[in-house]
Amino acid sequence: MTQLMGRPILALPEDLGSRSPFADLLAGARTALLALSVIAVPVLGLWVLTPYADVTARGALRLSCALWLLGHGAPLTRGPGGAPLTLTPLLLTAVSLALLRRAGARAAARTPQGSGAWRSVLSLGAGYLAVAALAVAECSGTEAVLQAEPLTDLPAVAAVAAAGLAWGRWSAHGTTRPALPAAVADRLRRWETAEWAPPAGAAAVLRRTAGAWLLGLLAAGGLLLTAAVALGTAGRSATGLADGPAGILGLLLACTLLLPNALLWAAAYGLGPGFAVGTGTTVSPLGTQLGAVPEFPLFALLPTGSPGIAWQAVLGALPLLAGAVPALLLGRAAAGRSTARPWPPAAVAVVALAAVLATAAAAGAAAWLAGGALAAGRMSTLGPVPWRVALTAAGWSALVVPPGALLTRWTLSRTAPRPRAAATVRLRTAQLRATLHRLVTRLAAHPRPTGD
């Protein structure tokens, strides 16, 4: 009886290699509820502090569910006319992805590679989507301020859940590459022996180069955003708009949720193409054209007019400085500091071109994620234009990374430490002594015969 009571009820036999699907289902629902609590706790706290009684606790819960769905990229509508709201608060997206990654990694660590691992991940996703379905149902009524659309919101949540869980499984087990056809594998082997082919380890260098370039752009955007906050009027705008401590805390919460979006907008501004705050508007280093914008503290940070020549020179130097670090990283790796010999110049150019394409694609995807719509009509266009950001990022990186990497490789290859003459003489002397020692040993082992 004691053995029966100590046996886990939700466990399957060990030959299946996984826990009970119901246990993974509960783990997925718990992950979704934990991500929901990140926004529900402050929203319910603000509802307690607000002096107005026209919003009920269920209304605050509906607002939390709507913001949670919006953090997954799910489009919502607002008002009786169904005005679209698609501006994704990327801070909630990052929190959801981090929690999903942790859940996926734990599930993958408990189960070996194979069908059992995928069964566990699918159960986690089903539990996560069950909570999403309840949130969509709660926000689908006419009494909801932000209304959900089940046909578009559930696929958006499913896409984020699949990305986070796959990320977790990849971090635990890695990725299994499918077998290539024989003709393709033979062609790749011939390419690997070509003069321009990068050596082994070039993929890791490519990831570091592209990551350093993107981090440099984010750092430039962070500097611009910090300067705008320090010199702008966001604080006075929040004080004028808020009505009491609850209103100030609500505006602070909204600005915090949109802080990653503002960082990406500032990075697009420093990169050159800028961003839009409504149709027919532009905010870029070349000039600012704005119409009427909503009263919001982050919009109080927008520049007015055209910046001066000195400010434009500073903005033009930011992408150059951001591209200097990846150029140095790629050039140092190509100089042969970690390999037996330097890379061929053609191989450096190939890796640099791949880094340019990777950074352009990542910059365009980030610009697409950071934008959206606040309403219909004029406010249906917010954020950077993805294709402009991608082209500008490709242009700046192509201007800095390939020539900088080739110059760094050439400089480090010329200044590489060479063995001194004394060390060479000592090495040759040691080799000569070893040869003489072997010769004497042979002669001693076979003495010359003597006559009678």
- Checking if the pLDDT of 14 tops 60, the result is no
User: Looking at per-residue confidence, does 280 or 435 come out higher?
Assistant: 280
Residue 188: the pLDDT is: 46
- Checking if the pLDDT of 452 tops 80, the result is no
What percent of the chain is predicted at pLDDT more than 90? 38
Q: Average pLDDT of 262-288?
A: 90
User: Looking at per-residue confidence, does 243 or 41 come out higher?
Assistant: 41
- Checking if the pLDDT of 436 tops 60, the result is yes
Q: Which residues pair with 85 in a beta bridge?
A: 76
Residue 183: the pLDDT is: 53
Residue 421: the pLDDT is: 43
DSSP single-letter state for residue 89: -
- Checking if the pLDDT of 225 tops 50, the result is yes
Residue 87: the pLDDT is: 93
Q: Average pLDDT of 349-362?
A: 92
Q: Average pLDDT of 157-167?
A: 93
Q: Note the pLDDT tens digit of each residue in 167-209.
A: 888 876 665 555 444 554 455 455 555 555 666 678 888 889 9
Residue 31: the pLDDT is: 95
Tokens 């896409």 map to which residue?
159
Residue 161: the pLDDT is: 95
Strands (E) in 298-437, as ranges, are 382-383
User: Looking at per-residue confidence, does 11 or 290 come out higher?
Assistant: 290
Mean pLDDT, the chain, rounded, equals 81
Q: Where are the alpha helices (DSSP H) in 7-143?
A: 21-49, 57-70, 90-110, 115-138
Residue 108: the pLDDT is: 80
Give CA–CA dist 230/382, Å, rounded.
24
Q: Count CB atoms within 10 A of the CB of residue 432.
A: 10
Residue 335: the pLDDT is: 83
Rounded to 5 degrees, what angle do the CA atoms 173, 177, 178 make? 135
Using pLDDT thresholds of 50, 70 and 90, give the confidence band for residue 250: confident
User: Looking at per-residue confidence, does 215 or 235 come out higher?
Assistant: 215
Domain ranges of the chain: 14-173, 189-414
- Checking if the pLDDT of 315 tops 60, the result is yes
Residue 12: the pLDDT is: 40
